[in-house]
């Protein structure tokens, strides 16, 4: 199939990660190598930017700024959780693409974002419009199907492990067999992030924190929780717990969730740490319980980011462009493929967007020990390579310096659209 001559559009969607901008840097760096690509545009705030025709010229950015994206957290182009709801939304997307001669569309996001990309591509095909669409994996939750792991995951668990070790030093100083510290982490319905905290343990110190890890994959009961904590406090000066926000009871109900939902109908999670704190206070007289809720900090912590993660994020962006331009691929998402040798290696592959959209990859039950609150050696072998190396973040006056796009606007060509 011949190369398509035209313009690139790249967008970001969903919750940011410490390395989502590395993928954008990969897209821009690779797109500059191909003569068939005339302009490189970024959509401000994902699909909202497309609907509102809010584009910026990424080719006009300095190479220093593009390189700086490799260590910059957040979403440099802005993100959104907007769901394309009606056929008019999709028709508008294609109208904008045609007006700006967009022939290559790259969308960095999670499950719902890949579904959006898939639907846009299908409509283009129905209308006979030549467009190549490639998804770029992004989620700290690490729950996208098919891919071995997701850019963003290695950095978030590296930060959480760092935090666990630091908080443990404080707890060690303060505890007298009467302190419970509860760290709540993100991850929604999958326990990948909470499980990653297990890497904070030193191999020759099995009693290192976290002492207990509570995962959405293991039904939670108050009786077992109280017994677990009591067991730890009998031998340790303190009990450090990591809990995933999507923890559920034996009936599958969240132990703590807001009544509100986001644009995609997902429950607003949070409050698991406070719930466990209340159980300690109610059932263990004389024991102090404290909580740490990392919130957005865990997905923005580029200062404690993983070099392996950032490099793979960049690699995924490059691979998306190569697949679309050189291999004429479309309707695919870039996947990370682990090598089968003892020494860790990672290559990229492709999977149909339809296989990714709205799916959830759960933490394998066999990677959770029989006690339900610790991780097996198999999980450690899986996750350990993903946190290797330190992201080189430049500093000025003692503080990290992050890249900021100039965001030179592209002229609008269409009448405004009512979102």
Active site residues: 141
The tokens describing 97, both together, are 């693409």
In a 10 Å sphere around its CB, with 0-12 CB exposed, 13-18 middle and 19+ buried, how is residue 260 labelled?
exposed
For the annotated binding site for substrate, the residues are 139-141, 186-188, 245
393 neighbors 303 (Cβ within 8 angstroms): yes
Return all residues near 399 (Cβ < 8 A) that are at least 6 apart. none
Estimate to the nearest angstrom the gap between the alpha carbon of 375 and the chain centroid.
Answer: 21
Residue 289: name the closest of 235, 212, 219 by CA: 212
CA-CA distances (angstroms) from residue 44 to 10, 51, 157, 290, 316? Answer: 9, 10, 28, 40, 20
Estimate to the nearest angstrom the gap between the alpha carbon of 359 and the chain centroid.
Answer: 15
Handedness of CA 215, 217, 220, 225 (dihedral sign): negative
For the annotated binding site, the residues are 15, 111, 139-141, 186-188, 245
Return all residues near 32 (Cβ < 8 A) that are at least 6 apart. 40, 59
> Using the 8-state DSSP alphabet, how is residue 134 labeled?
E
The Cα–Cα gap between 380 and 330 comes to: 35
For the annotated binding site for diphosphate, the residues are 15
The Cα–Cα gap between 112 and 110 comes to: 6
139 neighbors 156 (Cβ within 8 angstroms): no
The Cα–Cα gap between 253 and 21 comes to: 35
The tokens describing 303, both together, are 């200062």
| The residue to which tokens 């050189």 are assigned | 326
193 neighbors 141 (Cβ within 8 angstroms): yes
The tokens describing 390, both together, are 């330190």
């Amino acid at each position: 199939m011949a190369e398509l001559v035209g313009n690139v559009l790249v967008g970001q969607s969903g919750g940011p990660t410490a390395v989502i901008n590395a993928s954008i840097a990969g897209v821009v760096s690779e797109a500059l190598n191909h003569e068939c690509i005339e302009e490189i545009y970024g959509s401000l705030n994902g699909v909202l930017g497309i609907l509102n025709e809010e584009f910026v010229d990424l080719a006009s950015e300095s190479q220093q700024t593009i390189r700086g994206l490799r260590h910059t957290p957040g979403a440099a182009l802005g993100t959104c959780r907007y769901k394309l709801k009606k056929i008019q939304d999709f028709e508008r997307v294609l109208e904008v693409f045609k007006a700006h001669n967009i022939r290559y569309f790259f969308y960095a996001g999670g499950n719902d974002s890949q579904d959006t990309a898939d639907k846009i591509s299908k409509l283009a095909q129905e209308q006979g419009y030549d467009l190549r669409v490639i998804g770029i994996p992004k989620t700290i939750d690490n729950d996208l199907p098919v891919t071995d792991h997701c850019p963003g995951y290695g950095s978030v668990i590296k930060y959480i492990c760092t935090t666990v070790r630091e908080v443990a030093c404080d707890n060690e100083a303060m505890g007298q067999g009467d302190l419970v510290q509860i760290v709540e982490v993100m991850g929604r319905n999958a326990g990948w992030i909470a499980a990653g905290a297990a890497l904070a343990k030193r191999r020759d110190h099995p009693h290192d924190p976290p002492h207990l890890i509570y995962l959405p994959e293991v039904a939670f009961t108050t009786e077992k929780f109280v017994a677990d904590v009591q067991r730890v406090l009998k031998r340790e000066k303190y009990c450090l717990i990591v809990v995933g926000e999507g923890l559920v009871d034996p009936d599958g109900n969240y132990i703590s969730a807001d009544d509100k939902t986001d644009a995609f109908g997902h429950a607003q999670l949070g409050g698991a740490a406070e719930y466990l704190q209340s159980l300690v206070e109610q059932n263990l007289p004389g024991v102090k319980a404290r909580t740490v809720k990392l919130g957005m900090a865990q997905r923005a912590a580029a200062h404690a980011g993983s070099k392996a993660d950032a490099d793979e994020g960049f690699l995924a962006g490059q691979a998306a462009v190569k697949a679309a331009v050189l291999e004429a691929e479309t309707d695919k998402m870039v996947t990370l493929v682990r090598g089968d040798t003892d020494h860790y290696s990672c290559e990229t592959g492709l999977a149909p967007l339809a296989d990714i959209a709205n799916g959830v990859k759960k933490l394998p039950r066999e990677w959770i020990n029989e006690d339900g609150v610790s991780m097996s050696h198999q999980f450690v072998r899986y996750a350990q390579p993903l946190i290797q190396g330190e992201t080189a973040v430049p500093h000025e006056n003692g503080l990290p310096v992050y890249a900021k796009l100039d965001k030179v606007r592209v002229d609008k060509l269409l009448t405004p659209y009512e979102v």
